[in-house]
Amino acid sequence: MRPANEYRHIFFDLDKTLTKSRSPMEPSHQELFQRLCEERDVTIITGGTLAQMRAQATPRFNGMYIAMPESGNHALAKDESELWYEPLTPTQLAAIKQAVEELKTYFNLTVKDENDLVEERGAQVGYSVIGYHEDIEKKYAFDPGDVKRRAALNALPDMVQRLDAAEVEVVPAGTTTFNFIPKGKDKGHNVARLIECMGWAKEDCVYVGDALFPGGNDESVMNVIDTKSVDVPEDTFKFVEEILS
């Protein structure tokens, strides 16, 4: 990695990186984030929806960063103009729905709200095993390190193969979720696409995320640009301080 203060274009994951899971950015972090947005190019890329991104990053920063929801398969410039949007096809959605039912059977859990498990986001589908709005401590305790979710995918090879035939890939994400995305169009693909679109030099870019490990949903970025692994938002903002030094 280069010295932190030499990076000009900063990419961030959202959950467990900029904010806690499904939570707004801490007030104590907002001044640093504002300074960063004013001095550098900031991009947020997440598996969640644009609305969820705006809520967690807080409306205070609307128009100050490039938004890449749905693992970057939807991208908007700072001025809200759309750079691209590539939704899933009906065939892909049908394969995903079948896979979600198989995963529900595999985990065989009683959940608080059956209607809180699946989000169809357009260019991506998310399935939370215990629920998106479950107690945050339960979410953090469910599957640290993505072990249970990777085991599920290993135990269901026929499901993974059917998804592959439909041009869909599935990866663990966040604290309790599986993200279903168009095959090959992961975060790494879309980070590289934005860099080319903006005419940036890769050596001036860095990605900050909590899932930069084998099988993590940030892993695909590792062969594209420099990366900084963090565990919690506090780690992220220590790095932001280094960038701004």
Q: Where are the domains of the chain?
A: 4-86+185-244, 90-182
Cβ(151)–Cβ(178) below 8 Å: no
**Cβ neighbours around 244 below 10 Å, total:** 14
Considering the domain delimited by 4-86+185-244, tell me its CATH architecture.
3-Layer(aba) Sandwich (3.40)
Cβ(244)–Cβ(39) below 8 Å: yes
Confidence of residue 21 (pLDDT cuts 50, 70, 90): confident
- In this prediction the pTM is 0.85
At residue 231, does pLDDT exceed 90? yes
CA distance 68 to 218: 14
CA distance 118 to 138: 18
Sign of the C-alpha dihedral computed for residues 157, 163, 49 and 77 taken in this order: positive
At residue 216, does pLDDT exceed 90? no
Nearest to 56 by CA among 99, 5, 45, 103: 45
**Cβ neighbours around 80 below 10 Å, total:** 10
Q: Which helix (H) or strand (E) holds 113?
A: none
Place of tokens 């030499």: 6
Confidence of residue 60 (pLDDT cuts 50, 70, 90): very high
Confidence of residue 22 (pLDDT cuts 50, 70, 90): confident
Confidence of residue 186 (pLDDT cuts 50, 70, 90): very high
Q: Which carries the bigger pLDDT value, residue 242 or residue 48?
A: 242
Segment 42-59 shows an average pLDDT of: 95
Amino acid at 73: N
At residue 145, does pLDDT exceed 90? no
CA distance 103 to 171: 13
Amino acid at 98: Q
At residue 215, does pLDDT exceed 90? no
What class, spelled out in words, does domain 90-182 have in CATH? alpha beta
Confidence of residue 213 (pLDDT cuts 50, 70, 90): confident
Confidence of residue 169 (pLDDT cuts 50, 70, 90): very high
Q: What pLDDT score was predicted for residue 150? A: 94
Confidence of residue 174 (pLDDT cuts 50, 70, 90): confident
Q: What pLDDT score was predicted for residue 156? A: 98
Cβ(109)–Cβ(130) below 8 Å: yes
CA distance 83 to 46: 16
pLDDT digits (tens, 9 = 90+) for 77-104: 999 999 999 999 999 999 999 999 999 9
H helices within the chain, ranges in order? 27-39, 50-57, 90-107, 136-142, 147-155, 157-165, 187-198, 233-244
Confidence of residue 124 (pLDDT cuts 50, 70, 90): very high
